[in-house]
Amino acid sequence: MRLFIAITLPQQTKLNLVRNIEQLKAFATSGNFVSEDNLHITLHFLGETPESQLIYIQSAMDKLKGMEKPQLGISGVTVFRSADLVCARFKHNNALLEIHKTLGSCLEESGFCVEHRAYRPHTTLVRRPRFTLPFSEVSKNITVYNKPFEVQTITLYQTVFGEKGAKYIPLYSVEL
């Protein structure tokens, strides 16, 4: 099972991000645009994981219950050139960083490998984009719809690949 743990976005935030995707499409010659159903903020990517390990992931996620609910807002749309992605960035938030850190520590205690690089919360909008203009020009035409929201739910997702691309299936959720 290919797994990751992410913040579930509220519907209004997803709709705002879909508006950004539509704005990007106007300048794109190609790219894999993320569907509304797949928009999220990854906390930890677990990769291929045996089903027998789900109980340990759920246990780690349960330790997030009662933590401070971060207030998140989109700060802009940017390119992660190393990953060939266009993403919506989120403003710095200490409560979010604490959730990321706590979850990572709990996963490590259960034997999972987690990344130790700086956490950059984002939502991927387009993979492998090609635009008619340099992104610096495209970005001037992107209106960021930033209505801050309070994080309510953290979800464990399974990635399932099909003819129409990846689909993210929720397996387990916790409310903060």
Q: What pLDDT sits at residue 145?
A: 83
Q: Tell which residue, 173, 169, 123, has the closest CA to residue 153.
A: 173
What is the residue type of 30?
S
User: pTM value?
Assistant: 0.93
Confidence at 147, pLDDT banded by 50, 70, 90: confident
pLDDT at 106: 97
Q: Average of pLDDT values for 132-144?
A: 93
Mean pLDDT of 114-126: 92
The residue written with tokens 């045996």 in the block is 50
Buried b (16+ CB within 10 A) or exposed e, 91-102: eebebbeebbee
Tokens 């906390």 — which residue? 43
CA distance 156 to 170: 6
Distance separating alpha carbons of residues 47 and 32, to the nearest angstrom:
21
171, exposed or middle or buried, with CB in 10 Å at 0-12, 13-18, 19+?
Answer: middle
Average pLDDT over residues 67-90: 92
pLDDT at 152: 95
What pLDDT shows up at residue 78? 94
Query: 14-61: per-residue pLDDT in tens?
Result: 999 999 999 999 999 999 999 999 999 999 999 999 999 999 999 999
Per-residue pLDDT band at 163 (split at 50, 70, 90): confident
Strand partners of residue 33: 126
pLDDT (0 to 100) of residue 83: 67
Mean pLDDT score, 132-152: 92
What gap in Å lies between CA 94 and CA 71, rounded to an integer?
10
| pLDDT value for 165 | 83
DSSP one-letter code for 64: T
